[in-house]
């Protein structure tokens, strides 16, 4: 029983991280397409750098996602 419990914890943690990432993606999708369309296929780090360069113009939700993730 204990081994089964320990197996479930990482799955819940992974699901939570995936959910948070999806919420972040949803919050910033419009901002990415508006300000960073040219970089959409250049990888996550390039898109993140673009969002940070446009921080003053981002939606409140997307700006909050960046703050929540230490960006």
pLDDT in tens, 34-67: 999 999 899 889 999 999 999 999 999 999 999 9
- Looking at the structure of the chain, the number of domains it has is 1
How many angstroms separate the first and last alpha carbons of the chain?
A: 40
Domain annotation covers residue 41: yes
Domain housing 34: 21-71
pLDDT value of residue 7: 43
* Overall size of the chain counted in residues: 71
What CA–CA distance (Å, rounded) separates 42 from 7?
36
Q: Write the burial class of residue 51 (CB in 10 Å: 0-12 exposed, 13-18 middle, 19+ buried).
A: buried
pTM exceeds 0.85 for this model: no
Domain annotation covers residue 65: yes
Domain annotation covers residue 3: no
């Amino acid at each position: 029983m204990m081994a089964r419990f320990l197996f479930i914890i990482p799955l819940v943690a992974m699901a939570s991280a995936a959910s948070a990432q999806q919420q972040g993606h949803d919050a910033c999708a419009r901002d990415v397409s508006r300000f960073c369309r040219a970089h959409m296929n250049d990888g996550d780090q390039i898109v993140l750098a673009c969002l940070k360069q446009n921080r003053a113009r981002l939606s409140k939700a997307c700006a909050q996602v960046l703050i929540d993730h230490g960006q």
